[in-house]
Amino acid sequence: MLLFWVLGAYVLTRSPRGAISLTAVGAQFATALYLLGQGMLANAETFDEWLPWARNLTWGAHLAQLLWFWLTILLLREQRSSRARAYLRYVGYPLAALITVATLVFGAAIYVDDLLHVWSGVQPSPPGLDSYSRFFLPNGPLFFGFVALLLVSTLAAFVNVWVAWRVAETAERRRRFGWLLLSAAFFIAGADGLGIFNWSAGSMLPTPLGHFLLAAAMVVMAWNVAAYSLLFKGQVVRTDFFYLLTALILVCVLYAAVLLTFGPSYSFQLLNVTAVVLSVAILSHALIDLGRRVLDRVFFGGDVRRLRDNLASVLQTAARTQDFDALLVEAHNEIDEVSADRLRDLTEQALRRLNNPAALGRNELASRIPVTLDGSTRAALGRGLQDVTPLERAQAMRSVLISGIERLKPLDGDTGPESPAALQYYILREEYLQGLLNKQIMVRHSISEGTFNRNRRQAIAMLAEELDRQEQLASREKMAAFGSSVASSGG
């Protein structure tokens, strides 16, 4: 059970989130829940302890086989071959609909009278019956149909993977589908063996062996689905796979040690707590990143969220890439993009406060263009930025912004008054300098609201980029002047 939680957590945290990876995770977690119930009922000593675990989590087996089949459909759907599309249209999708409806019917039958299992006929396991539970659950009239459904769905999933393997476009995809064929074979042996074993009352496959085959199928599936999902972002590194598994296993060992050390002597209730706590421990550690993103939306703005997400992605990629230099370049580019977006937002905030000196003087844009502001105050007042009043600081900021807007004005004769370049200049000038309403500007230039918003965004981005370049040039000139003065003093 713990292995299935860990494998599901691996796919969830290491694959790009999409239909394929989430379906694989669902299959893993559904199997984990089913095995949780099986493990607990195997240790139950009384009927009252046995019944809730036997009945409440049996649906996990139904959902796991359905999601495994749908996973193979989704993998096949991604192939661009005309043969794959024809197969899905005439075979895959109709069969998927049939299997889905049948699974829902049999899943509901678990809790409807004694249709699938004869809950009213539970009795102690007869002597000589190869069972790991102290209680025997007779099969209902629909159980043979469920076994047939298992056989059809697992064989059909094998065929789906085989078709995908045949039409795979690249050698790497073909190799992944080859491994998934092995996983499908394990599913057939494990799931069908367990179904036939339960139907024939112990004459087919021992339950522990069936669970082992399912575990082998899930291991192969988890590894290759994660690798398949990352084909366009770099291959899964084997070290990272075992790193995550080892980390989560150590978490389980730590929690189990605490429970065993400080808990009472063994009891079925202690086993309940241990199994549930270990499951929650794996999920809580695996979902830290998802939880962080949810909390980020509550506490941080969009620019901070984007930076944290980008850096977290880079850190995660670092464990899977062998081209570390390219990763550093990517991290640098991500930070530059976030920085540019932040500067654009600050520029827009300053423009909105252009005619409000008190608010403009406190705007954070001043911290991004200190050298430019210092030069502006020296030119206008003969004093540096550190020696001016807040009002003079706001006036310097306003002067810099107005100068930037005026530099956006196209040269006379180079462009028409309604061209994008001219329109962007007029939008900034009329909205922020003249204080016209948006509707007035749209009527004046005969443009739609969408055109107005698009050109305003582009104009603000251009102004922010201009302010950034101006700050860089001013900084270089200041450093050059400082170097010249130092050299002169030394001479």
pLDDT, one tens digit for every residue, the chain (491 residues): 887 888 788 777 777 678 888 888 898 899 889 889 988 988 888 889 999 998 899 899 889 889 989 988 988 888 878 888 899 999 999 999 999 999 999 999 998 888 888 888 888 877 765 567 888 888 888 988 888 888 888 889 889 888 888 888 778 778 777 877 888 787 777 776 666 656 555 444 566 676 777 777 777 776 666 555 543 344 455 666 777 778 878 888 888 788 777 766 778 888 888 888 888 888 887 777 677 777 777 777 776 777 777 776 666 666 556 666 766 777 677 777 778 888 888 888 888 888 888 888 788 888 888 888 888 888 877 777 777 788 888 888 888 888 888 888 877 655 555 677 788 888 988 888 888 888 998 888 888 898 889 999 999 999 898 888 888 888 887 777 666 665 565 55
Which residues, 6+ apart, have CB-to-CB distance to 206 below 8 Å?
A: 130, 197
The amino acid at residue 23 is T
Q: Cα(203)–Cα(442) distance, rounded to whole angstroms?
A: 81
For 250, the token pair is 């150590």
Q: Can you give the pTM of this predicted structure?
A: 0.65
**In which residue are the tokens 């078709």 written?**
163
Distinct helix (H) and strand (E) counts, the chain: 22, 2
CA-closest candidate to residue 211, choices 336, 32, 392, 78: 32
- Structural domain boundaries of the chain? 2-286, 302-341, 353-480
Query: Environment class of residue 76 by beta-carbon count within 10 Å: exposed (0-12), middle (13-18) or buried (19+)?
Result: buried
